[in-house]
Structure 1
Amino acid sequence: MKKIYPVLFFLFFSAITYSQVILSLDDDSVYIDSIATLTKKTNSDSLKSIYSFRLSKLYLMVQDGTKSKEYLEQANKLKTKYPFLVDASIYYNSSRFLEKGDAEGFEKTLLEANEKLKAYNNIEAYRLRAIVLQNYGIMQQRSNNEKAYMKLLVHEAIPIAKKSKDHELISALYKAVAIIFMNNNERQKASEYLRDAQYYIEVATKRSPTLIESKVETYIINAENLVELKRFYDAKKVLDKAYAKLEYHPESNLNDSYYYSEGIYYAKQNKHETALESYEKGIRSADKHQNQIALNRLKFAEYEVLFKLKNYAKAKANLEYLLSKTPFIVDQKNYFNELSKVYNATKDYDKAYFYANKYNVINDSLNDTKFKSDIVELEAKFKKAENEKKITLLQSQNERASLMLHNNRLNSVLFAVLSVLLFLTVLFLWILNNNQKKLSAQKEINYQQELDVLENQQKLSVSNALIEGEEVERKRIARDLHDGLGSMLSGLKIHLKLAENQNNLSATDVNVLLDNSIKELRNISQNLMPESLLKLSLEHALQDLCMRNSNANTKIEFQYLIPKPNLPKNYEIVIYRIIQELLNNALKYAEATEILVSCSQNKETFYITVEDNGIGFDVLDKNNSGMGLRNIRNRVDFLHGKVEIQSEPNNGTAAYIELKVKKEATSNG
């Protein structure tokens, strides 16, 4: 049996009078009174009018027609000086057509309101337009044009609602689309829209009297759809969210639909007794609220479980109740069919045949009615077409003679004119095509030249940066030679001079000075070009670099995760310099006790990671961008790579670098 989900349209200030059920958790009078107080206190006619329009809708929502009409009249008196309120009032006054049962007038008024509100680009205009479009779409749905309703929701109402930033409204529109898919048993598509509906209702913060009700209803509908998709774990999570709100509102009419969803959750998992308990709770709630639609759904769902449990007496009682309460012949047909199944199961074949026959009579009647309707429609179309043919034939006979003479005269003139026009058109297109080709070719040349200029500028910029870095490196080496090796050799010279004058040359002292000088020279040599890099590999050179810089205060861990490295020496040198500079920065400025150096490679990309637990720095502070970091970035740019520095004060520093390694370079390395 196809399940029909009624559209429950209770948006903020937008409930319309034909909504089947007004959902409620609490008394909304506190919220309504607060709006009424604002209306009395404000001295602005425009605000007083806006509040009055809203109050008219709120009182309509709580079914107080007298108050609604009173505030609507007050709003209409105050609106006249404000063009936007004049146009918005078309929507607010549209409910009078529904009160009179004038659906056509209601639809025309909605279309007029939408056209007028298109002139305004403010949030309230967008919100009202989205509501107007949904109301119009619901009218199309009631006229069995569900396709038009879907098109209005997806292509117009939802995009406009998003401009209003009213998340509750956006959620309601997504939910309306989902219900259409559920009615057509397209559960997966419904699930996608319900996911969006749940997202928007959960991020909604704007205060409204229906926000919690909207949230709970969204959870309940989503849970029901998830059950039909057999996603029971997800359905339970959503049901729990709904129950968390309903737990403190046992009198709410939202319990009618909550217990239906909970019941099918258990029934679909063959937990029949638990399902029956949920259905009974829902039936009591729906009966208390006189919600016949919910009551019928619950009774039929309960019947399905009772039939599975072979409790045919209660199952039959439910169907007989449903037959007494439904005015719809389609539902009666389905109930007769189910009664036939029950009597067949109890081997009462006479009654089984009786109800099967009633089912067939209604089914044939429905089909016969449709068949006759189709025949009448086809016959009317046929007669209309025949009459049009006769009229056309008579007209053509009278006009043919005069037209033939006139056409003969025109043919020769038209042929000449068309020939000239055709020639001119071809000539114009040929010239235009040639010019277009020349223009495209020139644009391509200009574009390529611009690319070449940009590439050369980039290369020049990188080269200048590298030259600048090399100059700084030379100055550092000169300083190291002067301050380190130079000082030691000067000390050795002085020592030798004194020893010569005093005739007490100490070989031990000289050896110590020479050893220190040699060590200093080796350190400088290692910094210039590590011997292990030239003779062994990048891995050995980096391992040696980390060992030389490790000490009692700073532990350096080195990871080289490349099983078969194959890089050219020029790449290895640049990589070595980058890691050397990163280590120098960590040792000089970071005050780190632990440093991690990691290298890895994936196809044509070489990855470098250097992390420390030092004092860190503010990466956004331009004063922290020294020569060391600039040298690193320049070397990374030289290898067409990317560098990312992550650091915060007192939270360490991490450098992540990606370098591109060309295949030709790798194969030649």
Structure 2
Amino acid sequence: MIRVLNLVALFVVISLCSKAQLPLDQQRYYDSLTTILQHTRSDSIKARAHYALVYYWVPRDTAKARQCLDEARRLSKQYPFLQAISYGHEGYIYYSSDIDRSDASFAVADSLLNSFATKEAYQARANVWINRAAIRQRKDDDRGYIDIVLNRAIPYALKAGDSAIVASQYVGVGLAFMNLEQYDKAEPYFDKAIRIFQSINTQPSRLVAALNRAGENYVYLKKYDEAKKIVATVKTLLAPYPDSELYAVHYMVEGLCYLHDQQYTQAEASFNKGITAARGPNKAYVIQELSFYKVKALLANKKYEPAKQQLLELSSNEEVMELGSSRLEIYEGLATSYAGLGQMKPAYEWMKQARHLSDSLHESDLANDINDLEIKYQRAESQKEIITLKAKNEQAALSAKNSRLYILLLASTTLLLLIVATFALLYYRSNRKLLMQKELNHRQELKDIEQQQRLQFGQAVLQGEEQERRRLARDLHDGLGGMLAGVKINLSGQVEKIAAEQQGELRKTISQLDDSVTELRRIAHNMMPANLLKFGLQTALKDLSESLMTAAVKIDFQAYGIEPSMPEQTQINIYRIVQELLANAMRHAEASNIILQCSQDGDTFLITQEDNGKGFDTSVNGKGIGLSNIRNRVGFLRGMMDITSVINEGTTINIELHVG
């Protein structure tokens, strides 16, 4: 799916010269501004009115917007502050057509506003940085966007005492986290924004914009009941304003809820309404997003021909095709469409392109991960060298100081020689002890740093291993599995076309393909269990225990108080630990009866495994690869492991993990 382009700076950001956002009733807004121009003689008030009209005309007629800006600048010649904010409005005009020129104008505005220390100036600077942050996001830099909003825009808004801007930027930060697919982090920012908008007297359009995006985030979090409540609330708020551009995102969230409920015709209708309602400088991006969702509804409703036409139209858009994820979705959608239409040859070609692109994207991600690990390791090594060199320099400086003091003492008078010599000896011994203690301290610091670096590197390796398992599982399931499925489709289409005596052999081949697909899915499940990601740790451990039981091996799995809210990475590590424990008990201990207990008490997670296997000598056989992997993961979770084993009587393993 194309990324959710967070253009909140143009969608919900306030004017640079007033405290009011472009309201839902835009005609009334325009009429009030023209009335001001007709009945006032003040150049400053007229200039502000023309600046406000810039926001009205940009989505309708950029030439008229430019005329309003020129007239406002003419009227602002005697007012330095109004001259400064004119560059912010100029940046707004160029935002859709030339973002580099737009960013340059916003930079000039911020530079000129730096000489003013009023609440209005802080408000204007907050909006300048909001728009510059939006430009970073258009350049695919979500982290840069979040940094600017949190460290530039919001501090200026707080100085201005403008809660509305702060709330709007909470919406923007939430959208940025949505772009990074960190939907749980986005949720509290949307909640803060909605609470602020509901507590202050502001334009309802801001509250609607925040609710729309919060509803979309609920869909990604699979909180469909909350999303539906949002849809109902927004529908009531927008009812008096049938021409509002905010309907576009409202219909998108409504369509996603219909899509989840498998009401595909209603979902398609909602997405079409959203496309019709899209307006303003963000129109193209919103329509693209809605079009991709519409394709999902068409394919789910088996309307393959309209879906194909929509995908071909999207593929002709160069901006859409710049993103690899968008191209991948288009290729996969075309493969599904052609297959649904019975055109297997183009379906196969599109599927082949999709798999090739998917492999390229995964290889790029893996290369980036490896480069990041290498950079972290090199930085750690450089830091160790700096600390070592610093310690040597300090030691050399102390030695030089002591030598100079010793020479000075030897040059003292003969009368005081004995006293000076005694003093020098005592001083030398004292300093030597001090140097030895410092050297021991430095060695301990280096040892601690080295141990910490090893732990961090081990953590990075474990994370990289899980990412690689996830990638391989996805590649096996989606890549090779998809290819085998395609082969099966092609062979199935040939059954009726060959002689009857040959159909048996072909059907036997198809059956073997089915067995291959089943085995492939089992391997992919072992590498990254789907049950863990879908239903949580307790269900995954129960399924693991049941899958390993045989007529000769009984596994008694007992779970107490396991919380489903643990981070996904923590659950994966616990699953791997249990998986290795069970494998060792069955493979090496040859146990016939295994008791596995998993319990959680707050931030502490306990694992106890007892078996009746042949046992082992922990001082000799306790350093195998399997136990090393377990110890690494226990160390990753800051835990402890205790092993008690008696030859021919069995083994008991107790593990305590910190999962807070």
TM-score between both structures, scaled by the size of structure 2:
0.48
Question: Relative contact order (C-alpha < 8 Å, sep 6+): which is higher?
Answer: 2
TM-score between both structures, scaled by the size of structure 1:
0.48
